[in-house]
């Protein structure tokens, strides 16, 4: 059983923020900023590729709810929603979860570095995506 399944089964404690039939949300043990929430399906899916559409919708509705909660209750002015899909992207816990991360002016967290497309590259990518 994965660590989040153990939390969902109440074998390991968490600071729960929200629960319904399909979804659990609790505070990340090592927050990027205080109030950092993890939202996940109660059923074990490794990632977005695996989750059923119904559970995915249920999870995303809670992500939206948690964002609203952060704004209303903690006075957060904005937040990031991230999901590390597969280990290459930084997924450590192999149970699909979304991070809802409060952001504050001057909190020092940098955004993704971006780059430019090389000649013809964007057309090639688009051709593959649409083939
Ligand atoms: P990932 O890199 O898989 O997207 O993120 C996993 C997140 O889960 C990390 O931010 C980490 O701090 C959090 N985490 C790992 N183990 C526990 C735990 O036992 N309890 C809680 N509340 N968070 C955890
Ligand atoms: Zn699990």
pLDDT tens figures, 56-105: 999 999 999 999 999 999 999 999 999 999 999 999 999 999 999 999 99
Superfamily in which the 3-130 domain is placed by CATH: HIT-like (3.30.428.10)
In the predicted model, is pLDDT for residue 111 greater than 90?
no
Please, what is the average pLDDT of the chain?
A: 98
Helix ranges, 35-83 (H): 53-74
Model-level pTM?
0.97
Which sequence positions are flagged as catalytic?
97
Q: What percent of the chain has pLDDT over 90?
A: 98
Quick one: average pLDDT of 116-122?
98
The ranges assigned to domains in the chain are 3-130
Which residues, judged by CB distance below 6 Å to any ligand atom, belong to the binding site of ligand 1? 3, 14, 26-30, 38, 84, 90-93
Looking at residue 90, its pLDDT comes to 97
CA of 57 to the centre of ligand 2 (A): 18
Comparing CA positions, the residue from 43, 45, 39 lying closest to residue 81 is: 39
Quick one: average pLDDT of 6-30?
98
Which atom from ligand 1 is nearest to the alpha carbon of 97? 4
CA of 28 to the centre of ligand 1 (A): 6
């Amino acid at each position: 059983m994965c660590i989040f399944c153990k939390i969902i089964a109440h074998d390991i404690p968490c600071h729960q923020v929200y629960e319904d039939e399909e979804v659990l949300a609790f505070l990340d043990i090592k927050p990027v900023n205080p109030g950092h929430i993890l939202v996940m399906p109660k059923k074990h899916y490794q990632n977005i590729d695996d989750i059923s559409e119904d559970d995915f919708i249920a999870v995303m509705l809670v992500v939206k709810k948690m964002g609203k909660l952060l704004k209303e209750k903690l006075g957060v002015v904005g937040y990031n929603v991230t999901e590390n899909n597969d280990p290459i992207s930084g997924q450590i816990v192999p149970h699909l979860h979304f991070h809802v991360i409060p952001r504050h002016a001057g909190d020092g967290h940098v955004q993704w570095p971006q780059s430019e497309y090389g000649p013809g590259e964007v057309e090639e990518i688009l051709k593959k995506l649409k083939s």
